[in-house]
């Protein structure tokens, strides 16, 4: 089960940069003909420039420098190899790879800058110049001018990363000038044209797909709402987004009450649910094994408070009750009243793979849990009042399937639980376990309320080195409830 969750988390988190954008860039080691004396200083200056620029999100290649140093003698040749460039793009998830070379002569230097695409063979930009000086500032200024030229040639402002109904996630450069209310056009690249001699890409053929508006912006991503579709084709990750010039009339104008209605809760969420349970209790006593089973009814209330956007604390109370009847074995009674109670106090971290609160979410949490059972006492049958408690660890996922529906799943367990028997029937436990699995759907009724339906399985067990060898509880629940943002 844990393996399933790890795989699931990896899949949804890897979608965030499944398509590398040219607005994610890196700088290869700068080579020169004087053993790196100039190249290293220019690298520092250009890297600083890239980190402060807003046309791309710079990704450092420091983690790969140890690999580059192995090929120091033939580094210029290796940096032109398609396979090396593909590896850099794949590892760093970048679409613009800047390659700069410097050749020294008696009168100055010859400098060349090329920008390669993620496939390692598309030449997106190329410039060469002969300078009458080997001054680092002069070289850096030339490279800066070339980067400005390249930034203006990029055929799109962002790429589509994810799609949810009419909502799309945009991958933009960190600090890129994009504003809420700004209009955009979604295009799809159909073909690219290369210069017959220079092999440089000189033009892109595109198809207009849709038009829309930006309605949320974060550090290096944005959310857009598609308003008009220009074709019957569906939008796809990797489609291009071109921003139109922002105008004052595009600025959202809504009164306070409208904003209040359209904004989510800022403090947390409360969930209430009623459930029916198929429940069973198994015991192994000196007179043999027996089982009681039946239907219980119960309620579940959970309150989650958001300490920050990504850290949270939660408390949950659950209680179910009913009557179980003899299912197997020789029992002293034909039926028994039972009450199950659960208390959890947890806290954790909410991972947002695409950066937005209403996108996919993965929760990692831990805390304390107590599962208790209270049955009509029967020493012969091993029935009574006892509990299993301890440190709780868990992981959960919450993924939008459309604008109205979200799928959620959660797994939690007690790694080192303890067993307590209030009646003294059972001795110190040899082992104990508690595990809970839940999965279901949420339907968005309005901006603050969801209707929740889920199936939950809860299993607890304790074994002993005595005549009373085992007691275990199994509950399978169908839960129906609602969640409220506040």
Name the token pair of 246. 């922002």
Q: Which of 394, 379, 373, 333 is nearest to 472 (CA)?
A: 373
Say which DSSP state 265 is in.
P
Contacts of 268 (CB under 8 A, 6+ apart): 303, 304, 305, 306, 312, 485, 486
Q: How confident is the model over 329-363, as pLDDT tens digits?
A: 888 888 999 999 999 999 999 988 766 666 788 99
Q: What is the CA radius of gyration of the chain?
A: 31
Burial of 150: CB neighbours in 10 Å, binned 0-12, 13-18, 19+: buried
Say which DSSP state 256 is in.
H
Q: How far is CA 444 from its chain centroid?
A: 21
Q: For the chain, which residues score pLDDT lower than 50?
A: 1-18, 254-264
Task: Transcribe 284-331 into DSSP letters.
Answer: EETTEEEEEEEEEEEEEEEEEEESSSSEEEEEEEEEEEEEEEEEES--
Enter the pTM of the model.
Answer: 0.62
Q: Are 417 and 431 in contact (CB under 8 A)?
A: no
Angle between helices 136-153 and 39-52 (to 10 degrees): 40
Bridge-based pairing state of the strands 123-131 and 288-306: unpaired
For position 106, what pLDDT does the model report? 76
For position 264, what pLDDT does the model report? 47
How long a stretch of residues is the chain?
Answer: 486
Q: Given CA atoms 418, 419, 424, 425 in this order, what sign does their dihedral have?
A: negative
Integer Cα distance of 48 and 50 in angstroms: 5
SS3 250: helix
Q: Are 445 and 452 in contact (CB under 8 A)?
A: no
Domains and CATH numbers, the chain: 18-153 (3.40.50.10610), 158-253 (2.40.10.410), 265-485 (2.40.128.100)
Integer Cα distance of 11 and 32 in angstroms: 42
Backbone angles phi, psi at 238, to 5 degrees: 105, -15
For position 248, what pLDDT does the model report? 64
Q: Are 182 and 246 in contact (CB under 8 A)?
A: yes
CA angle, residues 171, 172, 174, in degrees to nearest 5: 125
For position 167, what pLDDT does the model report? 81
């Amino acid at each position: 089960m844990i393996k399933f969750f790890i795989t699931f988390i990896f899949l949804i988190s890897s979608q965030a940069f499944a398509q590398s954008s040219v607005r994610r860039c890196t700088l290869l080691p700068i080579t020169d003909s004087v053993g790196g004396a100039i190249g290293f200083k220019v690298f520092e200056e250009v890297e600083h420039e890239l980190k402060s620029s807003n046309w791309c999100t710079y990704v450092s290649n420091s983690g790969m420098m140890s690999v580059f140093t192995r090929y120091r003698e033939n580094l210029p040749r290796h940096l032109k190899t398609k396979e090396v460039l593909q590896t850099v793009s794949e590892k760093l998830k970048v679409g613009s790879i800047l390659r700069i070379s410097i050749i020294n002569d008696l009168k100055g230097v010859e400098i060349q800058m090329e920008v390669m695409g993620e496939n390692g063979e598309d030449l997106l930009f190329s410039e060469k110049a002969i300078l009458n000086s080997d001054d680092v500032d002069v070289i850096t200024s030339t490279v800066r001018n070339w980067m400005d030229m390249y930034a203006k040639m990029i055929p799109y402002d962002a790429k589509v990363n994810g799609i949810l109904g009419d909502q799309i996630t945009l991958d933009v450069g960190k600090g890129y000038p994009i504003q809420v209310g700004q209009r955009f056009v979604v295009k799809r690249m159909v073909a690219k044209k290369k210069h017959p001699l220079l092999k440089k890409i000189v033009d892109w053929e595109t198809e207009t797909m849709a038009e829309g508006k930006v309605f949320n912006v974060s550090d290096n991503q944005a959310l857009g709402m598609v308003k008009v579709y220009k074709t019957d084709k569906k939008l796809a990750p990797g489609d291009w987004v071109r921003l139109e010039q922002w105008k004052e009339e595009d600025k959202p104008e809504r009164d306070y009450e409208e904003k209040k209605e359209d904004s989510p809760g800022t403090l947390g969420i409360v969930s209430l649910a009623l459930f029916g349970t198929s429940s069973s209790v198994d015991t192994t006593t000196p007179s043999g094994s027996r089982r009681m089973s039946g239907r219980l009814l119960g309620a579940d209330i959970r309150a989650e408070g958001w300490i920050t956007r990504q850290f949270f604390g939660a408390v949950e109370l659950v209680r179910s009750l009913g009557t179980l009847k003899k299912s197997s074995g020789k029992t002293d009674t034909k039926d028994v009243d039972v009450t199950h109670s659960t208390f959890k106090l947890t806290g954790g971290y909410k991972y947002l793979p695409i950066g937005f609160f209403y996108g996919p979410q993965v929760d990692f949490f831990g805390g304390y849990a107590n599962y208790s059972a209270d049955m009509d006492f029967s020493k012969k049958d091993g029935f009574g009042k006892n509990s299993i408690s301890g440190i709780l660890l868990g992981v959960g996922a919450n993924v939008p399937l459309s604008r109205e529906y979200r799928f959620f799943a959660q797994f939690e367990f007690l790694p080192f639980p303890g067993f307590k028997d209030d009646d003294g029937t059972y001795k110190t436990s040899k082992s104990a376990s508690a595990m809970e699995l839940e999965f279901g759907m949420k339907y968005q009724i309005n901006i603050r309320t969801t209707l929740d339906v889920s199936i939950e399985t809860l299993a607890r067990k304790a074994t002993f080195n005595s005549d009373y060898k085992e007691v275990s509880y199994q509950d399978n629940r169908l839960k129906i409830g609602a969640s409220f943002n506040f």
